[in-house]
Amino acid sequence: MRSATRTALLSDIHGNLVALDAVLADVERRDVDLTVCLGDVAASGPQPREVIEVLRRLRWPCVMGNTDESLVKNLPEKFSESMPDEERRTLERLDEWTREQLSGSERGYLSTFKPTISLRRRRCHSLLCYHGSPRSNLEGIFVGESDDDLARHFAGYKGDVFAGGHTHVQMLRRFGGSLIINPGSVGLPFEKVRSGGIVNPAHAEYAIVSSADGSLDVELLTVPYPLSALRKAVWDSGMPAPDSWLSDWR
């Protein structure tokens, strides 16, 4: 019998070291032999430099997310014009603050991230990792998309497992003979509420793909952490509008 492989997939840390630390502790106890980061590691959260420091030390393979790319180029992130003016201005100030936090060395590290990462896990299965879609780190893949839409996303790409983030929502579905996985967001998960709005629950999301003897098993995981710890990190960070940022957290 072949030994099993266990691959952790995580995405969209968004400068939330409290959430990342919760995932690291959970991964440690689950006997994972490889972890892949699917991008968007630093922007929009209270601890961008601290998250980058941890990732540099861990030396995981990392995909280039859309916000990573903006930070590498030191360019402002573009927010939707349909967004309410006050919300957009708050996000623009946060984006400017994040860019000011990063050194040239930290941007240099982010520049090593790859558009896609292809892996063959001990001859058991092939894994194609990206941020939004294989075509673009700005292009999200959603659970309700038709097979025709998925065929356009994945035209010219092959893999037993396709893995990406960007939407901040966990997903697992089949497409032909492949599995499509979105591990959700470590640092900024989205949860819809009855009013139609979105809140951020105080848990970190990630996934583990296990394979042995030709079979695949996928776990979509959530790891709770104290909201009080995140609040303290935000208030200590010096980020702009901390109370506004925290108002969506539950």
Q: Tokens in use for 191?
A: 């949860």
Beta carbons of 42 and 92 less than 8 angstroms apart: no
- Pull the structure tokens for residue 168: 């901040």
Percentage of residues in the chain having pLDDT higher than 70: 97
Question: How far is 40 from 25, CA to CA, in rounded Å?
Answer: 20
**pLDDT tens digit sequence for 202-249:** 999 999 999 877 789 999 999 999 999 999 999 999 999 999 999 999
Q: DSSP assignment of 88-152, as one string?
A: HHHHHHHHHHHHHH--HHHHHHHTT-BS-EEEEETTTEEEEE-SS-SS-TT----TT--HHHHHH
Q: Which pair of tokens denotes residue 54? A: 């941890």
The residues spanned by each domain of the chain are 5-115+181-246
Flag whether pLDDT at 63 surpasses 80: yes
Cβ 23 vs Cβ 220: under 8 Å:
no
Q: State the amino acid at position 134 in one-letter form.
A: P
Per-residue pLDDT reduced to its tens digit, 155-185: 999 999 999 999 999 999 999 999 999 999 9
Q: How would DSSP label each residue in 42-90?
A: STTSS-HHHHHHHHHHHT--BB--HHHHHHHTT-PPP--TTS-HHHHHH
| CA–CA distance, 81 with 7 (Å, rounded to integer) | 38
Helix (H, G, I), strand (E, B) or coil at 236: helix
Closest CA to 102 of 20, 43, 16, 17: 43
Q: Please, what CATH class does the domain formed by 5-115+181-246 belong to?
A: alpha beta
Asked whether the predicted pLDDT for residue 24 surpasses 50, the reply is yes
Q: What is the pLDDT of residues 77-132, one digit of tens each?
A: 988 888 888 889 999 999 999 999 999 999 999 999 999 999 987 666 899 999 99
